[in-house]
Amino acid sequence: MNLIQKGINKFGKLGVASFFLMGIGLLAFLLTPLFYGLWGIDTDLPGVLVVFLGVVLFIVSWIIKRKPRKGVKIALIVTASLLSIPILITIASLIYFLITRRPLGE
């Protein structure tokens, strides 16, 4: 059995996908100085948002796979909701920019 199959058996498909997403976000965050120096691309905020999205997906997959008690489930849902707020703000800002061609707040 290969490494991916072991991970899928232990964490589920959504859990493994969330680990890949967190890895991509962490890589984008850590390579910000390189990207900014060579091409002028600032990837620190998108990298952090992708890591947050990966954490939210992992929390959701943990709730689905493990079936925690009610109190723990509520705490996890609140944590996932709080981590999703920056992602929703970024999506709203992107939609506003695509419609008006001006950044939000100008």
Model confidence, pTM: 0.79
Q: What are the Cα distances from residue 16, in Å, to 7, 9, 29, 52, 71?
A: 6, 10, 20, 15, 25
Phi (first) and psi of residue 41, to 5 degrees:
-100, 125
Q: How confident is the model at residue 69 (pLDDT cuts 50, 70, 90)?
A: confident
Kindly report, residue by residue over 21-39, the tens digit of the pLDDT.
Answer: 999 999 999 999 998 899 8
Average pLDDT over every residue of 52-56 = 90
Enumerate the domain spans of the chain.
3-100
The length of the chain in residues reads: 106
Kindly report, residue by residue over 56-67, the tens digit of the pLDDT.
Answer: 999 888 888 888
SS3 12: coil
Q: How confident is the model at residue 83 (pLDDT cuts 50, 70, 90)?
A: confident
Kindly report, residue by residue over 37-47, the tens digit of the pLDDT.
Answer: 998 888 888 89
Write out the two tokens for 61: 């997959």
Q: What are the Cα distances from residue 89, in Å, to 35, 76, 81?
A: 24, 21, 13
pLDDT averaged over the chain? 88
